[in-house]
Amino acid sequence: MSRVRYPRSRFTRALGKICVALETQPIRDVSHKDYFDRPQTTRVQIRTLWVVGSYARGALECGDLDVVMDAVGLNRGLPYIKNVARGFFGMTPRVFFYGGTPEKNSSGVAFQDAKLIWSSSQPDWRNAIASIAEDNGAGHFERPSDHLPLTPEQMRGNINNVEDLLRSRNEGLLGWYHIDFADDHRSQPEVPEQFAEAFSRFTDLGKATRHALAHFLAASNGHSWASDDLSRDWRGRTEFRLGGTDIYVGTPPMPSQPLENASTSRLALVPHLTARGPNRAWIIERGATHPLVKKADSRVAYALAYSDCLIKMFTPVSDWKWVNTLELFTSRAVAKAMATEMDEADDEVASGEAEPMHVIELSGTLLLESIARIERLEIVVDASGNREIFDMGKFDRYDVDHHALFDKLITLLPKREDE
């Protein structure tokens, strides 16, 4: 991901202003909001400050300035480091702060090139900055995370997952791409009409999260997987569901062994939009060698459809709850007989006002996509209408062996004739 580079002198001036603020007042009251959005004031002490990245290596041009701060909350836990930085230094364009030490910090990366700039025991920051030798050959140090569509700073979780993700992609277990948003991160996108009503209900979202979700919905409009209803995921305030897609907005988690169960077909990771960027959604899907894909490739199911659009039903499961249901058949002949029976009972089909049903074949990723988009699956196993029923929500439960459950589901389906 290429970025604009700026003269080193720009960041030397910015670093100097930061150090002046520190030597003047290393302990300050920082105003912020807690997890429940309640206003708080925390007394914070910054004990040590390092510079890392290309500036620390002496690069003559840098994309930004990366700073690590060791700070502590004196009257309560430390606020988010971005709130600490804002409380001490105000607006600092293209300066990015990480809490902790060079070895262990909020970026998730151990910085081997860190340079100590200021501490209470070594306050001569001017000499510390001047001692960094300029190096015309220094530049960005390539890391495994450079091969991801997003940066580690845009996500949360274990940075060590990156190499596992890259290995999974190289082995064909996963595949991914990204969807870029509008060039101006401050622009206000128009939410597509099919999502507008659901989007209007998410009134409790923070401004930045709501803004990122709007950009995602506008940019994903037209993708085949974005044709379902948008809903809130029960697992989190900033997690959403769009058909078989799990959407994480704001500071999405770094994926760890993603897409292991059949309840989800893809992940969409949507970070907050910033001047630094990149402002995009990272879409992760299963690859051809994924175990679920290989199993689904070996089987076939039949479903009823209008114009290649699967027919789904809303089935009552209690007096107050109806669920989105897909009916699959293990026999094309049984599926065709059911389509004929339903067409004969439909006056609109008889009069030519509506087209008749037809049978479509589902296998591989299309089969997985279809069952991930519904809440209940009914597999008709014989001509008498006997069926096996699967609650798709169980695939996502920690107390259920989802591998065994999927094996039970997939073995009900006949093998493909070309296998």
Q: Which amino acid is at 117?
A: I
Q: Which helix (H) or strand (E) holds 406?
A: helix 402-411
* Residue 343 burial (CB count, 10 A): 16
Buried b (16+ CB within 10 A) or exposed e, 302-319: bbbeeeeebebeebeeee
The whole-angstrom separation of Cα 400 and Cα 378 is 19
- Do residues 151 and 278 touch, judged by C-beta distance below 8 A? yes
Q: What is the mean pLDDT of residues 402-408?
A: 94
If asked whether residues 319 and 357 sit together in one domain, one would say yes
- Across residues 197-215, what is the average pLDDT? 92
Same domain, 172 and 264: yes
In a domain, 417, yes or no: no
Dihedral (CA of 287, 291, 296, 297) sign: positive
Banded pLDDT at 419 (limits 50, 70, 90): low
Q: Are residues 167 and 115 part of one domain?
A: no
Q: What does the pLDDT average to over 36-50?
A: 91
The domain boundary, picked from 289, 304, 324, lies at 289
100-108, Cβ contacts within 8 angstroms, sequence gap of 24 or more: 100/68, 100/70, 101/48, 101/50, 101/68, 101/70, 102/50, 102/52, 102/68, 105/68, 106/81, 107/66, 107/152, 107/153, 107/159, 108/152, 108/157, 108/158, 108/159, 108/160, 108/254
Under the banding of pLDDT at 50, 70 and 90, the label for residue 114 is very high
Please indicate, yes or no, whether residues 285 and 172 belong to a single structural domain of this protein.
yes
Do residues 126 and 182 both lie within one domain? no
CA neighbor of 3 nearest in space, from 48, 59, 47: 59
User: Do 153 and 211 share a domain, yes or no?
Assistant: yes
Q: Domain holding 319: CATH number?
A: 3.40.1350
CA 7 to each of CA 64, 152, 295: distance values in angstroms, whole numbers, following the listed order: 10, 24, 54
Task: Indicate whether 61 belongs to any domain.
Answer: yes
Question: In this structure, is residue 361 part of a structural domain?
Answer: yes
Looking at the structure, do residues 163 and 104 belong to the same domain, yes or no? no
Higher pLDDT, 271 or 137: 271
Are 243 and 123 in the same domain? Answer: no
- pLDDT for 343: 87
In a domain, 418, yes or no: no
What's the pLDDT score for residue 309? 86
pLDDT digits (tens, 9 = 90+) for 355-391: 899 999 999 999 999 999 999 999 999 999 999 999 9
Give a yes or no: residue 127 inside a domain: yes
Do residues 149 and 270 make contact, with C-beta atoms less than 8 angstroms apart? no
Instruction: Supply the mean pLDDT for the chain.
Output: 90
For residues 166 and 161, give the distance between their C-alpha atoms in angstroms, rounded to a whole number.
9
Q: Looking at residue 369, what is its pLDDT?
A: 95
Which pLDDT score, from 0 to 100, does residue 154 have? 87
| 296 vs 162 pLDDT, higher one | 296
Mean pLDDT of 253-272: 92
Q: Is the pLDDT reported for residue 2 higher than 60?
A: no
In this structure, are 373 and 325 located in the same domain? yes
Averaged pLDDT, 239-250:
94
Token representation of residue 49:
């400050």
- Please check whether residues 149 and 284 belong to one and the same domain: yes
Among the candidates 265, 289, 313, a domain finishes at 289
In this prediction, residue 3 carries a pLDDT of 61
pLDDT of 155: 87
Tell me, what's the pLDDT at 112?
87
Q: What is the mean pLDDT of residues 10-17?
A: 96
- Domain range holding 222? 145-289
Who contacts 314 (Cβ-Cβ below 8 Å, separation ≥6)? 322, 323, 324, 325
Answer with the one of 98, 121, 141 that is the final residue of a domain.
141
In a domain, 357, yes or no: yes
220 shares its domain with 204: yes
Express each pLDDT in 77-103 by its tens digit.
999 898 999 999 998 988 989 999 999
Predicted confidence at residue 137, as pLDDT, reads 79
Residue 139 has pLDDT above 90, yes or no: no
Domain match, 397 and 326 both: yes
Check whether 30 has a pLDDT greater than 70: yes
Q: Is 402 exposed, middle or buried (0-12, 13-18, 19+ CB in 10 A)?
A: middle
Query: What distance in Å separates the CA atoms of residue 409 and residue 62, rounded to the nearest whole number?
Result: 54
Overall number of domains in the chain:
3
- Average of pLDDT values for 100-109? 86
Q: At residue 141, does pLDDT exceed 80?
A: no
Query: Mean pLDDT, to the nearest integer, of 255-269?
Result: 92
pTM of the predicted model as reported, rounded to 2 decimal places = 0.76
Q: What percent of the chain has pLDDT over 70?
A: 96
169-193, pLDDT tens digit by residue? 999 999 999 999 977 888 889 999 9
Q: Is residue 419 part of a domain?
A: no
Residue 416 falls within a domain, yes or no?
A: no
What is the pLDDT averaged over residues 96-120? 90
* pLDDT over 80 at 16, yes or no: yes
Paired strand residues for 296: none
For position 140, what pLDDT does the model report?
A: 64
DSSP labels, 60-116? SEES-EEEEEEEEESSSSPPPHHHHHHHHH---TTEEEEEB-SSSBTTS---TT-EE
Q: What pLDDT does 279 receive?
A: 94
Tokens standing for 6? 């700026």
Model pLDDT, residue 181: 92
User: Which residue type occupies 2?
Assistant: S
Instruction: Render pLDDT for 218-244 as a digit per residue (tens, 0 to 9).
Output: 999 889 898 888 988 766 788 999 989
Is the model's pLDDT at 1 over the cut of 70? no
